[in-house]
Amino acid sequence: MTEIRAEMVANVWQVVAAEGDTVADGDTLVILESMKMEIPVLAEGPGTLARMAVGEGDVVQEGDLIAVIV
Amino acid sequence: MRADMLPGVPDSVLIANRGEIARRVANTVRRLGIKAIAVYSEADAELPFVAESDEAVPIGPAQASLSYLNADAILGAAARTGARAIHPGYGFLAENADFAHRVIEAGLTWIGPSPRAIEQMGDKIRARNLMAEAGVPVAQGSAEPVRDAGDAVANARRIGYPVMIKAAAGGGGIGMTVAADDDQLKAGFETASSRASRFFGNPSILLERYITRARHVEIQILGLADGRVIALGERDCSAQRRHQKLAEETPSPGVGPELRERMFAAAVRAGQAVSYRGAGTVECLVDSQTGEFVFLEMNTRLQVEHPVTEMVTGIDLVEQQLLIADGADVSFHAESVEPKGHALELRVYAEDPVRFLPSPGAITQWQEPSGDGVRVDAGYAAGNVVTQHYDPLLAKLIVHGTDREQALSRAGEAAAAFVIAGPKTNLPFHLDLVRSAEFASGEYDTSVVTRLRP
């Protein structure tokens, strides 16, 4: 199981992947926006997206859970 | 000089911006004996620019579209405080012709060029065509908006690869991509077009021939109240990451006297072509191989990096903006500006110094460097929180030296002495930059940062 967490305070701009999706290493799961920059959050290995913990418009803090891949 | 000695100059100026530039504009406004009125979002209530103003008005929530981009809220604040003029700073509403128009309609002084000049330069396709007509060199490119990916390919084959894909309404490097072949172009076109819609509300795209090795050199111009346009010097802004500037210097180590003279003449023609008034900047690319330059765009406002020009000329550009907006003469002899020495600006960003990713957070320690030739234009202080809502610029470290060598050595010392704790900053990168052999040699181009941080 891989937990993917936010590296910084950011707004969730786009949720790209959905729970149940099969993802490959490096696939974009979510696009965050912080300080006028888009930051793609990528799958850190292949698997199934078991949980998407954020929705569009949410604010994430550093260390917050974004997604779980199993 | 003071406002009471200059009957025309307004007695109060509302500064429609935030952070370091709001503070920097207020400094000049207050020095001239004029009342400085700040506006601020909920996220910025504790920042120095609010505390130091003569009067401060909250204009809405953190989100820029509801505060700093909210023309109704800003004009409302101006009406309530009896402000006589509005200075837009850079970014936000500074290059919004409708806003400039509304300010003037409200009977206030707009501290900037005419709405028409803003509009003419705001659309990059229109600006390119206008510049070509005025005899300013432009790169091979599209004279009309590119309609779709197929049209893009047809254009690129005519122009020749590699091409730069740009938003016609764009700025700040957002949405710019280089394409080396048809496949890259098709993919890049879709991305650029959707970003252009999102960030600038206009999906129009243009293509331009991409110059592989180039310096980014821009000319500061001033359109005077009597109609003359003068060039005040160039700035080299080749040190960039993600097409955004990190460091700027003047004079440019890559521009000799003959090229400088031609670039100044072209910049003056560019300003004249739109009857420019006030401070503006003509951005160009200088091809490192051929030494030829082309027009990139004109910024119809005060530039972030304007302080390097102030450091070598001794001219306060904000003061000139205020005078010109009021129809008055500038404070110096326009025909006899003699820049002295060398100046360098380092943009201190809240971002990690390796990958350049944003790093918002609370500032626990903030200690600015000082010394001969050192100037700091800062937006924050200890105890402030840097939020994710705005750009990552914390401060600008500007140094002046009698020559480039001294300026670089002072920049290194000052960057090392600048203490910021809390958010990560790019100060360690700046130390690497000013001490790198490539930057020190002066023979660098727009890829210098990528070479230092591959």
Residue B162 preceded by cis peptide, ω within 30: yes
| Closest CA of chain B from A59, distance in Å | 10
Nearest CA among B436, B364, B396, B440 for reference residue B19? B396
Q: Tell me whether B357 touches chain A (CB under 8 Å).
A: yes
Write out the residue range of the structural domain in which residue A10 sits: 2-69
Domain finish residue from B209, B238, B259? B209
Q: Tell me whether B351 touches chain A (CB under 8 Å).
A: yes
In a domain, B119, yes or no: no
Report the C-alpha gap between A65 and A3 in whole angstroms. Answer: 7
Domain harbouring B103, CATH code: 3.40.50.20
Report the C-alpha gap between B21 and B25 in whole angstroms. Answer: 6
Is B197 found in the same domain as B144? Answer: yes
Beta-carbon separation of B388 and A37 below 8 A: no
Looking at residue B202, its pLDDT comes to: 87
Report the C-alpha gap between B4 and B107 in whole angstroms. Answer: 21
pLDDT in tens, A6-60: 999 999 999 999 999 999 999 999 999 999 888 999 999 999 999 999 999 999 9
Looking at residue B276, its pLDDT comes to: 98
Domain count, chain B: 3
Question: Residues of B with catalytic annotation?
Answer: 301
Dihedral-angle region of residue A26 (phi above 0 means left; psi in -120 to 50 means alpha; beta otherwise):
left
The strands making up B244-250's β-sheet, listed across from edge to edge, are B293-299, B278-287, B214-223, B229-241, B244-250, B342-349, B393-401, B374-378
Is B416 found in the same domain as B303? Answer: yes
> Are the C-beta atoms of A23 and A4 separated by less than 8 Å?
no
| Closest CA of chain A from B199, distance in Å | 10
pLDDT-wise least confident of B46-60, B198-212, B213-227:
B198-212
Q: Tell me whether B390 touches chain A (CB under 8 Å).
A: yes
With a cut of 90, say whether residue B213 has pLDDT above it. Answer: yes
- To which residue do tokens 């003029």 refer? B85
Is B145 found in the same domain as B87? Answer: no
pLDDT in tens, B128-146: 999 999 999 999 999 999 9
CB atoms within 10 A of CB B253: 18
Q: Tell me whether A42 touches chain B (CB under 8 Å).
A: no
In a domain, B361, yes or no: yes
Domain count, chain A: 1
Residues in chain B closer than 8 A to A62 (CB atoms):
361
Both structure tokens of B126: 């229109």
Q: Tell me whether A41 touches chain B (CB under 8 Å).
A: no
With a cut of 70, say whether residue B167 has pLDDT above it. Answer: yes
Residues in chain A closer than 8 A to B65 (CB atoms):
none
pTM of the full structure = 0.94
Domain harbouring B397, CATH code: 3.30.470.20
- Cα dihedral B320/B323/B328/B333 (nearest 10): -20
Domain finish residue from B184, B209, B234? B209
In a domain, B122, yes or no: no
Is B224 found in the same domain as B203? Answer: no
Domain harbouring A60, CATH code: 2.40.50.100
Domain harbouring B199, CATH code: 3.30.1490.20
In a domain, B371, yes or no: yes
Task: Give B5's DSSP letter.
Answer: G
In a domain, B319, yes or no: yes
Residues in chain A closer than 8 A to B42 (CB atoms):
none
- To which residue do tokens 């160039």 refer? B234
In a domain, B133, yes or no: no
Write out the residue range of the structural domain in which residue B47 sits: 3-111
With a cut of 90, say whether residue B335 has pLDDT above it. Answer: no
Closest residue in A to B424 (Cα) is A8
